[in-house]
């Protein structure tokens, strides 16, 4: 038996999609389960769309998720390099081999000529399939004079191809469904089909797992394995991921949501100049986006920021900015199309490895459930060790900048987590639940003021509490607890009679966690300022007890 080797091979043409996360996770789980190796390979041969920034983003996202690769960028390994753009000489040698053996040939058609052929086929109501053409010497000379550059195409052998898929079973494509596809583009760079087969063979990959959208590509890849005389790895195609409405979960959802928000905000305004200025986007670019000529994620996000609307979470960065924990995201993605075979829904990475079995990967599309993700995330917020949560919190603060929690010390962040992790579903919920911590109230809920201050000596208790807090030298949880305990003991009144007026004053609505913890986090200066600022809605006395 060959050692098990799996790989995740993203193209760096944008941010990492959560569907890619599931693919990478399943590849890692299978490799770990069978004592094998998990590889990361960057397929960056698309010179127009691939960027170093996207490559760095993919590496960062996988690292944040804890999907550690055994070989690949930053790690190295015996079959590198692991960026396809650094493997071009190997592709050229393989293409020359197929040309020499008569299994591939040069094709000279221009994109315009190929498009014309496609349209003629459509007019005949036929599926277009490229077939080899013979060129006269005069045509070849004309091509050379024009400066045309040929592509290299594989000569299809003319028989059906069956993929024995470990998830879907046998899938066959008849000979007429396979054309002579391009191996090397006119610019000398390999196509995806050529490079992926060459690299999977060179890197000893034994199992290829990828989404079902790649299934028809795999039949082409089998022709290449046949042409080279190589034994193909096993292949498995994972179910698609749909959003709650039943549409494929894709980055286009962001563009759709941004366009809808823009049209709703436009009112009767003509053109998109107003929005371009508001969003900081070039007007022509924004107009093309609104006319669906492109689905640029950066444009969609600029519109969302300008209009203060939320976009669907599709990419890993979206979930990180939203305050989702990496453990929760991995857990949720693992359950999209697979289950451990029992009732468990919370699984650590080690538990996933132990339970993972390809036979339990479903064939039908999975449906992403945002509410379930939030439930999983809340569970991890309650259970992860403080130090782990603090590390994740620091990453989220940076990802969601500007973030008011950034000014807190580590001890203050620890206290903040202790106060809100029982109720928050994400880190972002802390900003909502504890909004008063970051913004001093300018108004106070009248019902709360009347209930806790306007009757039974509430204003007087608030004044006494403020005086007692003014005399505190050491502003920490233990000392503040002691202050309120003394007030309770001296008055014989319950804690609520003292804590609630203070809560109303500092929060505006009388809702906060334990009073001592809240004041400790708020700080001495800010607490005293808020206690001095509150005033009755009408009549009565102020916090100083003055008419």
Q: Answer yes or no: are the C-beta atoms of 468 and 498 closer than 8 Å.
A: no
- CA–CA gap between residue 241 and residue 251 (Å, rounded): 12
Task: Supply the pLDDT for residue 535.
Answer: 79
Q: Cα dist. 415→103, 372, 447 in Å? A: 68, 27, 30
- Residue 96 inside a domain? The answer is yes
Q: Report residue 78's pLDDT band, with 50, 70 and 90 as the boundaries.
A: very high
- Render pLDDT for 284-301 as a digit per residue (tens, 0 to 9): 999 999 999 888 888 999
- CA–CA gap between residue 153 and residue 19 (Å, rounded): 31
- Residue 374 inside a domain? The answer is no
Query: Is there a single domain that holds both residue 229 and residue 94?
Result: yes
- Render pLDDT for 386-428 as a digit per residue (tens, 0 to 9): 999 999 999 999 999 999 999 999 999 999 999 999 999 999 9
Whether residue 485 has pLDDT greater than 80: yes
Kindly report the number of other CB atoms within 10 A of residue 382's CB atom.
Answer: 12
Task: Supply the pLDDT for residue 543.
Answer: 41
Q: What's the CATH code of the domain at 187?
A: 3.40.50.620
Query: Is there a single domain that holds both residue 133 and residue 177?
Result: yes
- Residue 44 inside a domain? The answer is no
Whether residue 248 has pLDDT greater than 90: no
Q: Select from 313, 330, 361 the last residue of a domain.
A: 313
- Render pLDDT for 11-55 as a digit per residue (tens, 0 to 9): 999 899 999 999 999 999 999 999 999 999 999 988 888 999 999
Q: Select from 313, 340, 358 the last residue of a domain.
A: 313
Mean pLDDT of the chain: 93
pTM of the complete model beyond 0.75: yes
Query: Is there a single domain that holds both residue 275 and residue 173?
Result: no
Query: Is there a single domain that holds both residue 267 and residue 144?
Result: no
Query: Is there a single domain that holds both residue 106 and residue 229?
Result: yes
- CA–CA gap between residue 98 and residue 121 (Å, rounded): 29
Q: Report residue 546's pLDDT band, with 50, 70 and 90 as the boundaries.
A: very low
Whether residue 211 has pLDDT greater than 70: yes
Task: Supply the pLDDT for residue 537.
Answer: 56
- Render pLDDT for 55-74 as a digit per residue (tens, 0 to 9): 999 999 999 999 999 999 99
Q: Give me the active site residues, please.
A: 251
Q: Select from 291, 313, 335 the last residue of a domain.
A: 313
Query: Is there a single domain that holds both residue 158 and residue 289?
Result: no
Q: Which helix (H) or strand (E) holds 55?
A: helix 52-65
Whether residue 538 has pLDDT greater than 50: no
Query: Is there a single domain that holds both residue 212 and residue 144?
Result: yes
Beta bridge partners of 207: 6, 234
Query: Is there a single domain that holds both residue 143 and residue 284?
Result: no
- Number of domains the chain is built from: 3
Retrieve residue 48's tokens: 């127009």
- Render pLDDT for 294-327 as a digit per residue (tens, 0 to 9): 888 889 999 999 999 988 899 999 999 999 999 9
Which range of residues forms the domain containing residue 160?
87-238
Query: Is there a single domain that holds both residue 141 and residue 233?
Result: yes
Query: Is there a single domain that holds both residue 266 and residue 218?
Result: no
Tokens 């000379």 belong to 141
Q: Answer yes or no: are the C-beta atoms of 201 and 228 closer than 8 Å.
A: yes
332-342 mean pLDDT:
95
Task: Supply the pLDDT for residue 439.
Answer: 94
Q: What's the CATH code of the domain at 514?
A: 1.10.10.350
End-to-end CA distance of the chain: 89
Query: Is there a single domain that holds both residue 196 and residue 123?
Result: yes
- Residue 28 inside a domain? The answer is no
- Residue 425 inside a domain? The answer is no
Q: 82-91, 212-221, 244-253, 291-300 — which is least confidently predicted?
A: 244-253
Instruction: Please name the residues in contact with 336: beta carbons below 8 A apart, sequence gap of 6 or more.
Output: 22, 239, 241, 366, 367, 368
């Amino acid at each position: 038996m060959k050692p098990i080797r799996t790989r995740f091979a993203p193209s760096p043409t944008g941010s990492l999609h959560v569907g890619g996360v599931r693919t990478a996770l399943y590849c890692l789980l299978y490799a770990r389960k069978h004592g094998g190796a998990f590889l990361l390979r960057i397929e960056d041969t698309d010179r127009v769309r691939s960027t170093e920034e996207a490559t760095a983003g993919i590496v960062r996202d996988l690292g944040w998720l804890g999907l550690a690769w055994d070989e690949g960028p930053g790690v190295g390994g015996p079959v590198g390099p692991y960026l396809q753009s650094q493997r071009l000489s190997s592709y050229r040698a393989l293409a020359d081999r197929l040309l020499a053996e008569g299994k591939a040939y040069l094709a000279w058609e221009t994109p315009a000529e190929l498009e014309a052929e496609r349209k003629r086929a459509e007019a005949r109501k036929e599926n277009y399939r490229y077939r080899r053409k013979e060129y006269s010497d005069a045509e070849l000379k004309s091509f050379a004079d024009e400066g045309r550059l040929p592509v290299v195409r594989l000569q299809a052998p003319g028989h059906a191809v069956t993929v024995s898929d470990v998830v879907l079973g046998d899938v066959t494509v008849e000979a007429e469904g396979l054309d002579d596809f391009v191996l090397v583009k006119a610019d000398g760079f390999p196509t995806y089909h050529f490079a992926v087969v060459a690299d999977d063979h060179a890197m000893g990959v034994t199992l290829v797992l990828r989404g079902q959208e790649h299934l028809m590509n795999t039949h082409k890849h089998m022709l290449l394995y046949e042409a080279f005389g190589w034994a193909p790895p096993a292949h498995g195609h994972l179910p698609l991921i749909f959003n709650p409405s039943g549409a494929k979960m894709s980055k286009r959802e962001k563009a759709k949501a941004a366009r809808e928000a823009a049209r709703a905000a436009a009112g009767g305004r003509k053109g998109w100049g107003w929005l371009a200025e508001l969003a900081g986007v070039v007007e022509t670019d924004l107009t093309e986006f609104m006319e669906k000529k492109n689905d640029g994620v950066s444009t969609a996000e600029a519109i969302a920021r300008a209009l203060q609307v939320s976009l669907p979470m599709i990419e890993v960065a979206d979930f990180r900015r939203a305050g989702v924990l990496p453990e929760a995201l991995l857990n949720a993605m693992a359950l999209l199309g697979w289950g451990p075979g029992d009732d468990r829904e919370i699984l650590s990475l080690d538990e996933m490895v132990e339970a993972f079995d390809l036979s339990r990967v479903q064939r039908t599309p999975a449906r992403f459930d945002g509410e379930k993700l939030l439930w999983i995330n809340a569970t991890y917020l309650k259970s992860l060790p403080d130090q782990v949560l603090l590390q994740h919190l620091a990453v989220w603060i940076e990802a969601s900048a500007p973030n008011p929690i950034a000014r807190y010390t580590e001890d203050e962040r620890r206290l903040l987590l202790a106060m809100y992790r029982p109720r928050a579903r994400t880190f972002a919920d802390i900003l909502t639940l504890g909004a008063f911590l970051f913004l001093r109230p300018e108004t106070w809920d009248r019902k709360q003021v009347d209930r806790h201050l306007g009757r039974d000596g509430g204003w007087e208790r608030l004044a006494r509490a403020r005086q007692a807090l003014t005399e505190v030298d050491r502003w920490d949880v233990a000392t503040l607890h002691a202050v309120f305990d003394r007030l309770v003991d001296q008055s014989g009144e319950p804690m609520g009679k003292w804590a609630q007026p203070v809560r109303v004053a500092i929060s505006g609505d009388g809702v906060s966690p334990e009073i001592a913890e809240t004041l400790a986090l708020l700080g001495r200066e800010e607490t005293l300022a808020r206690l001095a600022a509150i005033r009755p809605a009408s009549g009565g006395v102020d916090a100083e007890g003055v008419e």
